[in-house]
Structure 1
């Protein structure tokens, strides 16, 4: 019997993994892929010596540094669902990529290091999730190492992030004494060392919450302490509410160790039970587009150049919001009103890919693009035009002048800059009078990655001269007067040819506002 569109959509679970660097985000992604049978062996992010790298870190610079600086998209089938995993950059200098990615998912998994607790980057990303009201699932990682007390971690989670927490399971010990988890939701104990307890991975609990049967673990004070903690949680903690989870008001909390894979299976089983399938999306006009709408709609939330260095390709990531994708179908780009045929498309397993035969709402597919698409573009099928709400953009704070070292290689320099700025991590400006090239970014690492990729992907070595922090403000073209430019408020054009001032500091901006009161200055988000 042929599946309906609604049935296909209901099987989709699309989530982003967010965390602070080194919390274990990429490692847990590996374990999820392993459980879904997508890979045979989990890589390790710290794979410099062994040559074994994380599957989701495909860019060379990520392998060298052991960090994620791009978003990877992966699909895995699990328990009758298609799970779309988006592994986002952990480094705060690439938070803009992560913010946009959070617009393209239906839930988020927050990974927290048990020793470090809530870190600044996690807090920022979490706020975006709350703003969108998307469900958040929390995995407290590295329980096989010494960390903070679980009760303190739960309290910090609730106080710092202002969300209610419900522990789905509870750790029995930590570090060298870590025995496993007391699984509140499934009414069982999951053992870290089953060989010490008759080779049982799980032991059932009776109505009193005690292990059924005579096992060595029952004599452990660590198990007894966990039982007491759980009793306290049941009496004084938050009640479990599926509705509150769906509204992003309550986060289910899981403990485990991504490096050993312990607790990840239990987490994933609960995730597919409670994570939402794709929901409606809003257009700029305030209309709601349901996933069940027959015509295909979707938006571009990410563009990545040179995912395959051998072919110098450029991939635009499309989040499908409604309808069903079929190869060869025609769609319209809302911004340009141009039609395009969706012929050559791909699905990802980080650095490997395969052609897409069918995709529905919730799925993320890659479109091979020759430069027609931009981040934020809406694609729609049929005659009824659709334009989804704009994706967030951020005003850069750091600026660099950039020039090619070899004048003979200017062609590759221009091509590299043009393609890399379209990915959205770096912004590009030209000074109004002298047409010098300036790059703007949220963080220093973005410049380093940009310089590295220009050299390695476009064979263009560049000089980068720091300009320090500036305040970027856009003005209406009608207000433009080239004489407004000075050393303290540098007049430039952005890559869309819009006029923008780079102010030296707040004082320079206030002076400008006083001198030109009729000129409106605008910042991005």
Structure 2
């Protein structure tokens, strides 16, 4: 029991969230650099570059310079076992990000100093807030001209309704920053000029603010300005409160530049000190503690073809309690079967390491023979618990897809089924038509681009895509005889999802209301009955 408690307490599992282009993947990579997991950072700035962020492993991510799927990165640093969940920032992949947040114990919110709180950041923040996750704020790109730190603090309070306590504060004026001041340690860190653009750790000089040498290094103008800003923060700002941080009511704030490594290590060290070890998880029968000796976990992500040479399928699980041991057999709640978890792996993007054991808070991947689904529960058979349902989001864009080459039908069907299991898109079919074609639903058009790319490059199936005019979907709840006799079907398209649940697509709210009025015996649901809305 002592071993389990010690191992749980040194785990830190967190997600990084932001609007696109705020520098999230770059920050992830620099945390790996300072954690010693990599020794030379790549760059995500140029699509033509031969170096790419470690966390962007999918080929389309390297080509477009964006993240389109969540990645898992694990390493040890300063006595901690760190699990980073790097999420896509683009709104078209929000559902993947939301699912990933279910596996996190805290979140790092990345903000561009020039742009402040952007739209996608707001959406992800409220998901974290709803789950009462502790939120740490990293203001990025301070090597560029942008908003003042005080303006950003004010925006956090007004737009996100959360107070901020700046742990580190930039030293300089109007974007010309030379270092940071740590308000908790009263220490100054001045950074050396470096033309390597963050490929190596950034050299710095540390010392007390009261040291005469440090005062000379800062310079009289910057020094006096820093003293004035610190005094203002101490007088008018919020006080430091660990309990409010844990409750998600106060966000510790840090300033830096992920591209140049400015302030990154100061953030990493203080984050690990302030963030919490694995938290209790909600089940349908109450909470389960991470130090409970009975093993339990849930599947939050499935990824096919991480290794194209082997066409494998990996199910990513968050361990919620107990200890995982290689080769152990567990109870799969959704199928009611006992299964042996084979090929357990931990990840640094594409690089894999076979693991012998893992503990609460760890993220591991296991081979998926095709039985796992997003949100599935794994536990010891005598427990048979079940974790809370994962959010499901109604798609807003629809298209009929079919293989361009009928000889590739087998590859097409396999690819569509596997990508649907991943949650990359939502897949539907017409009950009276075979699987020569599917209807796919997406949140945004970029998801469809990724689907087309992956089917071609991973499964060898080129698509014919016919965009449909529908913009709303509703799951139908009712007696089969009433569904079969639905009135007004000429105003929509009746489909079934991958679990054979009836779904109707309509053009707009007016068409939906017309259907509701004419079918009083049926319910039209935004999400399936066995899921919940976030």
Q: TM-score, normalised by structure 2?
A: 0.94
Question: What does the per-residue CA deviation read over 1:498-519, in whole Å, with 9 as the maximum and x for residues that have no partner?
Answer: 1111111111111111111121
Asked if 2 retains the 8 angstrom alpha-carbon contact of 1:145 and 1:175, the reply is no
Does residue 275 (structure 1) correspond to residue 275 (structure 2)? The answer is yes
Q: For residues 267-416 of structure 1, what are the structure 2 equivalents within 5 Å?
A: 267-285=267-285, 287-416=286-415
CA contact (8 A) 2:134 2:275 kept: yes
1:347/1:510 CA distance change after superposition, 3 Å: same
Task: Give the aligned partner of residue 450 of structure 1.
Answer: 451
Show CA shifts across 1:263-293 (max 9, x none). 11101111111100011111113x2111111
**Deviations along 1:419-446, whole A, 9 cap, x unmatched?**
0111112000112344551000111100
Q: Does 2:489 correspond to 1:490?
A: no
Trace 1:39-58 onto structure 2 (pairs within 5 A): 39-58=38-57
Q: 1:266 and 2:266 equivalent?
A: yes
Aligned to 1:466: 467
Q: Distance in 2 between matches of 1:214 and 1:349?
A: 39
Which residue is 2:209 aligned to? 205
On the 8 A contact 2:318/2:363 being kept in 1, the answer is: yes
Cα pair 2:246 2:276 within 8 Å, conserved: yes
Corresponding residue SS for 1:21: coil
Partners of 2:146 and 2:175 within 8 A in 1: no
1:515 and 2:518 matched:
yes
Structure 1 residues 54 and 477, CA gap change in structure 2 (3 angstroms): same
Aligned to 1:90: 89
Aligned pairs for 1:184-263 (under 5 A) are: 184-193=183-192, 201-206=205-210, 211-213=211-213, 215-263=215-263
Contact in 2 for aligned 1:167/1:253 (Cα 8 Å): yes
Segments of 4+ in structure 1 off by > 6 A? none
C-alpha separation in 2, matches of 1:165 and 1:176: 20
Q: Which ranges in structure 1 are unaligned for 5 or more consecutive residues?
A: none
Deviates more, 1:263-272 or 1:482-491: 482-491
- Matched residue, 1:35: 34
Superposed CA deviations along residues 288-330 of structure 1, whole A, max 9, x for unmatched, are 1111111110100011110000100111110000010001111
Write out aligned runs for 1:425-444 (5 A).
425-435=424-434, 436-444=437-445
Asked if the contact 2:317/2:365 (under 8 Å) is kept, the reply is: yes
* Closer/same/farther in 2, CA of residues 487 and 221 from structure 1, 3 Å limit: farther
Q: Which moved more, 1:443-452 or 1:478-487?
A: 478-487
Question: Residues 17 and 111 of structure 1 are in contact (CA less than 8 Å); yes or no, is this contact kept in structure 2?
Answer: yes
When the two structures are aligned, how many residues end up with a matched partner?
Answer: 516
2:319, 2:378 → 1: CA distance?
Answer: 9
Q: Does 1:500 align with 2:503?
A: yes
Superposition deviation, residue 192 in structure 1: 2.1
TM-score (norm 1): 0.95
Task: Report the Cα offset of residue 343 of structure 1.
Answer: 2.2
In 1, distance between residues paired with 2:84 and 2:158? 28
Give distance in 2, aligned partners of 1:72 and 1:151: 33
Structure 2 gaps of 5+ residues are 195-202, 528-532
Distance 1:501 1:72 in 2: 33
Shift of the alpha carbon at 1:50? 3.0
Superposition deviation, residue 176 in structure 1: 6.5
Tell me what 2:477 maps to: 476
List per-residue Cα deviations over 1:57-114 (Å, max 9, x = no partner): 0000000000001111011111111010010011110010000111101000011110
Q: Structure 2 vs 1, CA of residues 363 and 26 (structure 1 numbering), >3 Å: closer, same or farther?
A: same
CA apart distance, 1:174: 5.8
